[in-house]
């Protein structure tokens, strides 16, 4: 017991004096969480309340054009800047290129009069939709379909007017919206709800760098030879490395969750909602740590030099993160890539945490991911132990 405690204390002391290792384990993921949470806020616009800016140029000044604006505005997807002044096409294009607006909608004089007389040949329309160069195709499609729907409503109103009937301006809620994720305070996730678990998982796997550096230095400096000449044994030697890094992993999880909860809001982002039970989070964190430690130890015992281990561990982590939905969310990947992603242990970890934090998952929900991580961890640990024992012979 004395020997194991001495090993644990030694590893923690060494890590506390390794500024690069500490930065890699704590500062790097924290930076990613802050940057990504704040940067992705607008991407998840419907969740954060920010909307797409649209320049509204109304030369018709009619009830029909006002109704059209009101209908488009009722969707809460767009933020209209009403500009009554005359702007030519070049001015509008300049504004769009400048990035102030995603769209510009120009209503020409005569729009209301021509509502029921759309030109057959398509040579001229009273409405022009201009699109900024950096507006995505998906957003463009949303705007085009919204505009079609609003115009259809105005045409219907004009048609009914000719028959002496009316159409009220009240926004009709024709269907309910339900978000499949649940949280205690709100039922919609924020960017921080996605990025905290992602970068937390990423950071956990980076124990490979300090862990392998220490082990390889011990081997190269003859310290391992000296330790093996004592009665320490391979099991206690490896446990002496795994236990402190397991504690470090748990500390990472706690700190990243706290950063999402308290630090991100200070910087203008939304606070992380800590949903699900603590013991589920702890189970997931433990499973993740065992997998990360298994892979780290396997790389450490298999590598000849620290450079080799850092290259293998660092590059491997980035690849696992890229395919595992850490850097690019899985839902934007094509189906084939999503299948590939499901092979990354980082993806298992991320999905497990998202199950708890976003989907209010139960033990049954996280069981596949947690089991996968446990099995992977135990297998790699066993392999590492075998390799280390063989090296000892």
Partner 1 sequence: MSDAAFIQVRGVTHHYPRMHEPALDNVDLQIPQGCSFGLLGPNGAGKTTLLSLLTGLLSPQAGEITIAGYSLSDDPPAIKSLSALVPQDFAFYLKLTGHENLKFFAGIYDIDDSQWNERLEYCTQVCQLEGMLGRRVAEYSGGMKRRLNLAIGLLNQPKILYLDEPTVGIDALSRQVIVAAIQKLRTQGITVVYTSHYMEEIEAICDELAIINHGRVVARGRTADLRSQGSGRSLSLTFAAIPSDELMQALAAWQVQCVHQRKVDLTLQNVDDMTAVLDTCKQHRMTIEQLQFGISRLEQTYLSLLKENEAATGESAT
* Span interacting with partner 1, options 7-15, 45-53, 100-108, 133-141, rule CB under 8 A: 7-15
Does the protein bind partner 1 through residue 228 (CB under 8 A)?
Answer: yes
Q: Tokens for 198, please give them.
A: 């992602």
> Quick one: which of 85, 133, 76, 77 has its CA closest to 106?
85
Does the protein bind partner 1 through residue 3 (CB under 8 A)?
Answer: yes
* Span interacting with partner 1, options 46-54, 92-100, 216-224, 375-383, rule CB under 8 A: 216-224
Residue number, 3 or 328, with CB nearest to partner 1: 3
Residue number, 17 or 364, with CB nearest to partner 1: 17
Does the protein bind partner 1 through residue 227 (CB under 8 A)?
Answer: yes
| Given 229, 268, 334, 336, the residue binding partner 1 (CB under 8 A) | 229
* Span interacting with partner 1, options 200-208, 228-236, 299-307, 371-379, rule CB under 8 A: 228-236
- Supply the minimum distance, in Å, between the C-beta of residue 369 and partner 1: 37
Does the protein bind partner 1 through residue 14 (CB under 8 A)?
Answer: yes
| Given 9, 20, 94, 148, the residue binding partner 1 (CB under 8 A) | 9
Please state, as a whole number, how many other Cβ atoms lie within 10 Å of the Cβ of residue 3: 16
| Given 121, 176, 185, 393, the residue binding partner 1 (CB under 8 A) | 393
| Alpha-carbon separation of residue 352 from 175, 253, 361, 369 (angstroms) | 32, 13, 9, 6
| Given 20, 97, 148, 225, the residue binding partner 1 (CB under 8 A) | 225
| Given 232, 243, 254, 333, the residue binding partner 1 (CB under 8 A) | 232
Q: Per-residue contact track with partner 1, 356 to 385, x per CB under 8 A?
A: ------------------------------
- Supply the minimum distance, in Å, between the C-beta of residue 343 and partner 1: 35
| Given 17, 124, 137, 170, the residue binding partner 1 (CB under 8 A) | 17
Residue number, 2 or 90, with CB nearest to partner 1: 2
* Span interacting with partner 1, options 1-9, 47-55, 78-86, 147-155, rule CB under 8 A: 1-9
- Supply the minimum distance, in Å, between the C-beta of residue 29 and partner 1: 24
Phi, psi of 82 (to 5 degrees): -90, 120
Does the protein bind partner 1 through residue 13 (CB under 8 A)?
Answer: yes
- Supply the minimum distance, in Å, between the C-beta of residue 237 and partner 1: 10
Residue number, 37 or 213, with CB nearest to partner 1: 213
SS3 per residue for the chain: CHHHHHHHHHHHHHHHCCHHHHHHHHHHHHHHHHHHHHHCCCCCHHHHCCCEEEEEEECCCCHHHHHHHHHHHCCCCEEEEECCCCCCHHHHHHHHHHCCCCEEEEECCCCCCCCCCCCCCCCCCCEEEEECCCCCHHHHHHHHHHHHHHHHHHHHHHHHHHCCCCCCCCCCCCCCCCCCCCCCCCCCCCHHHHHHHHHHHHHHHHHHHHHHHHHHHHHHCCHHHHHHCCCCCHHHHHHHHHHHHHHHHHHHHHHHHHHHHHHHHHCCCCCCCCCCCHHHHHHHHHHHHHHHHHHHHHHHHHCCCHHHHHHHHHHHHHHHHHHCCCCCCHHHCCHHHHHHHCCCHHHHHHHHHHHHHCCCCCHHHHHHHHHHHHHHHHHHHHHHHHHHHHHHC
| Alpha-carbon separation of residue 260 from 197, 223, 313, 366 (angstroms) | 9, 41, 26, 21
Residue number, 13 or 23, with CB nearest to partner 1: 13
- Supply the minimum distance, in Å, between the C-beta of residue 235 and partner 1: 14
Residue number, 42 or 221, with CB nearest to partner 1: 221
Does the protein bind partner 1 through residue 19 (CB under 8 A)?
Answer: no
- Supply the minimum distance, in Å, between the C-beta of residue 320 and partner 1: 29
List residues near partner 1 by CB under 8 A: 2-3, 5-7, 9-10, 13-14, 17-18, 221-223, 225-232, 392-393
């Amino acid at each position: 017991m004395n020997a194991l405690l001495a090993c644990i204390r030694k590893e923690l002391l060494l890590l506390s004096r390794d500024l690069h290792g500490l930065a890699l384990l704590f500062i790097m993921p924290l930076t990613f969480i802050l940057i990504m949470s704040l940067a992705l806020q607008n991407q998840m616009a419907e969740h954060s309340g920010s909307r797409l800016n649209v320049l509204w140029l109304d030369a018709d000044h009619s009830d029909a054009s006002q109704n059209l604006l009101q209908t488009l505005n009722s969707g809460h997807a767009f933020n209209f800047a009403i500009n009554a002044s005359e702007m030519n096409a070049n001015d509008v294009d300049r504004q769009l290129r400048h990035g102030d607006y995603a769209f510009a909608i120009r209503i020409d004089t005569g729009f209301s009069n021509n509502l029921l007389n759309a030109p057959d040949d398509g040579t001229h329309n009273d409405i022009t939709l201009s699109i900024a160069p950096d507006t995505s195709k998906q957003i463009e499609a949303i705007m085009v379909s919204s505009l079609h729907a609003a115009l259809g409503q105005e045409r219907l109103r004009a048609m009914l007017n000719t028959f002496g009937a009316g159409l009220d301006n009240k926004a009709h809620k024709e269907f309910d919206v339900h978000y499949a994720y649940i949280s205690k305070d709100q039922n919609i996730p924020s960017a921080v709800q996605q990025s905290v678990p992602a970068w937390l998982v990423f950071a956990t796997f980076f124990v490979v760098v300090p862990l392998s550096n220490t082990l390889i230095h011990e081997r190269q400096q003859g310290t391992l030879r000296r330790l093996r000449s004592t009665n320490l044994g391979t099991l206690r030697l490896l446990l002496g490395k795994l236990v402190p890094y397991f504690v470090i992993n748990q500390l990472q999880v706690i700190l990243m969750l706290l950063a999402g909860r308290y630090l991100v809001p200070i910087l203008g982002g939304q606070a992380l909602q800590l949903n699900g039970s603590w013991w589920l989070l702890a189970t997931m964190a433990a499973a993740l740590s065992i997998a990360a430690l298994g892979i780290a130890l396997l790389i450490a015992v298999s590598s000849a030099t620290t450079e080799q281990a850092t290259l293998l561990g660092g590059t491997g982590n980035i690849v696992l993160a890229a395919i595992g939905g850490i850097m690019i969310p899985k839902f934007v990947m094509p189906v084939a890539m999503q299948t590939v992603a499901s092979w990354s242990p980082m993806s298992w970890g991320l999905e497990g945490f998202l199950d708890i934090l976003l989907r209010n998952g139960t033990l049954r929900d996280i069981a596949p991911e947690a089991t996968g991580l446990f099995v992977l961890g135990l297998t790699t640990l066993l392999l590492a132990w075998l390799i280390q024992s063989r090296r000892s012979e």
